[in-house]
Amino acid sequence: MVHELSHYVGGQRVDGTSGRFSDVFDPCTGQVQARLPLASKEEVANAVANAEKGQLEWAAMNPQRRGRILLRFVDLVNENMDELATLLSSEHGKTLPDAKGDIQRGIEVVEFAANAPHLLKGEFSDSAGQGIDVHSLRQPLGVVAGITPFNFPAMIPLWKSGPALAAGNAFILKPSERDPSVPLRLAELYSEAGLPDGVFNVVNGDKEAVDALLEDPRVKAIGFVGSTPIAQYIYATAAAHGKRAQCFGGAKNHMVIMPDADLEMAADALIGAGYGSAGERCMAISVAVPVGQETADALVAKLTERVKGLRVGHSLDKDSDFGPVVASSAKERIEGYIQSGVDEGATLVADGRGLTVDGYDGGFWVGPTLFDNVTKDMKIYKEEIFGPVLSVLRAADYDEALRLCSEHEFGNGVAIFTRDGDAARDFASRVEVGMVGINVPIPVPIAYYTFGGWKASGFGDLNQHGADAFRFYTKTKTVTTRWSSGIRQGASFVMPAGS
Ligand code: NAD
């Protein structure tokens, strides 16, 4: 049965009125499971009006109380973990344990954000001049919006909303049209935790809703995560409308394998980081760079053996290593890239095209694909594929490997596997990439550090979560104070007497 989804505005689910819908699929069967209303400009304006109203009450609450509500929300998410993860898997296609990880990495940021009283403290200088003190305040922006991608439907909305709410803002989320049900459930749980009505809203939609948010002067900041062309569009349009923006884009993450690396460990890491979640992670490793022919031959042999053992299946089947990709268009795009790799002369070691899964003929399946002898000029190296496709590009030496990582258009994540501290240290210091793993394939920083890529992977000067998030979601006011001499001098301290 195809059910109809809604928006979430003013503390309740609200039906769409635009008459426009998009289909939400079950990627394991290829069937439509829900219809999603796409918001009109007017519906977005109504959500903003609700948010403006809610924000006043929310900002007036002291930050410690706001933090307690966020911690209640975290408890509720944990209590509903199984239901949320199942819902997430059913629309995204990632396995259940992976869906739980998506939610877990999200609530860790909300837990961090509950420390708002500390994170919102300003600065103070005593006696900056004679009789003059200076202090600064961090004040909420007002109404802010988040536009998020399909691949982490819990984590990224929580990375954005946790700090924004903790800082006293109201939040409007425009989640991906592909998997909107978890964001809607999170909205209900925020309300259940005690968030005042209108402080967290979900407007479902496409470009029309996004443009309405970008153009509305009441929306003060835009946080975006998604593909690079849209990140650039949103960054430029937000700036043109006088808003602050942080926009994170696509990726092409390399992993350098030095000749002294533990190759068993490196091969296992590559399998998990390359094929987990069907490669639909912005921190997935999509390029392995073994250093030296011997390392490369040994690594490719180990990868080939492991790829053969991978199980692709239904996202709720506990034996599945990964599930389907999110959409039939994604399957077509990925298969197109595989063909282009073949056409451009890469060695196709494992071909994931044409995979079928018993009982799920219509599912969006792509099997694990491995290319060897990929070169710098090939499309499969230059562009983000965002699927279960791992390319091996052989480097002659360390300098070539470092150059490849640094010169790529994208600069989200990178890893080096080695036993040599000096190589690791030099790599971390010199590589032109925002997040680095040393013997760690997917170096997603913990909640109290910040997350952000460089070059075409990130636009804006502040990262997500950590202390940066509080800088992004607050404006600084600086107060300079002078008190001229008053009651202390020349005033009488004698009790006035009548006669
Ligand atoms: P996407 O760019 O297609 O969509 C992201 C959001 O933008 C969605 O909410 C979508 O509705 C909206 N959108 C799409 N087209 C638009 C348009 N023309 N105008 C206005 N809004 C539009 O991305 P996706 O396919 O959902 O997600 C995958 C991409 O996200 C990959 O490129 C991946 O690398 C990237 N990603 C990056 C990070 C990071 O932190 N750098 C994290 C996760 C995902």
Sheet of strand 21-26, all strands in order from the earlier edge strand to the far edge: 3-4, 31-37, 21-26
Whether 282 is catalytic is yes
Q: Is the pLDDT assigned to residue 93 strictly greater than 80?
A: yes
Give the helix, strand, coil percentages of the chain, each rounded to 5.
40, 25, 35
Among 39-43, 85-89, 128-132, 157-161, the minimum mean pLDDT is found in: 128-132
For atom 39 of ligand 1, the residue with the nearest CA is: 248
Catalytic residue among 28, 247, 282, 405: 282
Q: Does ligand 1 lie within 6 Å of residue 51's CB atom? A: no
Give the residue, by CA position, lying nearest to ligand 1 atom 21. 207
Measured from the CB, is residue 91 less than 6 Å from ligand 1?
no
The atom number, within ligand 1, closest to the CA of 176 reads: 9
Q: What is the mean pLDDT of residues 443-464?
A: 98
CA distance 227 to 239: 18
196 close to ligand 1 (CB < 6 Angstrom): no
- Helices and strands counted in the chain (H then E): 16, 23
- pLDDT over 80 at 495, yes or no: no
Q: Which pLDDT score, from 0 to 100, does residue 493 have?
A: 64
* Least confident stretch, 115-119, 308-312, 491-495: 491-495
- Tokens 């819990």 appear where? 154
Q: How far is the CA of 180 from the centre of ligand 1 (A)?
A: 14
Best of 208, 225, 329 to mutate for ligand 1, by most ligand atoms within 8 A of CB?
Answer: 225
What per-residue confidence (pLDDT) applies to 496?
62
- Our answer on whether the CB atom of 138 is closer than 6 Å to any ligand 1 atom is no
Structure confidence at residue 1 (pLDDT): 79
How high is the mean pLDDT of the chain?
97
Whether the Cβ atoms of residue 309 and residue 267 lie closer than 8 Å to each other: no
pLDDT per position as a tens digit, 146-195:
999 999 999 999 999 999 999 999 999 999 999 999 999 999 999 999 99
Distance 249 CA to ligand 1 centre (A): 7
Q: Is the pLDDT of residue 490 over 70?
A: no
Q: Which of 197, 194, 204 is nearest to 173 (CA)?
A: 204
Of 21, 18, 15, nearest to 42 (Cα)? 18
Write out pLDDT tens, residues 183-215: 999 999 999 999 999 999 999 999 999 999 999
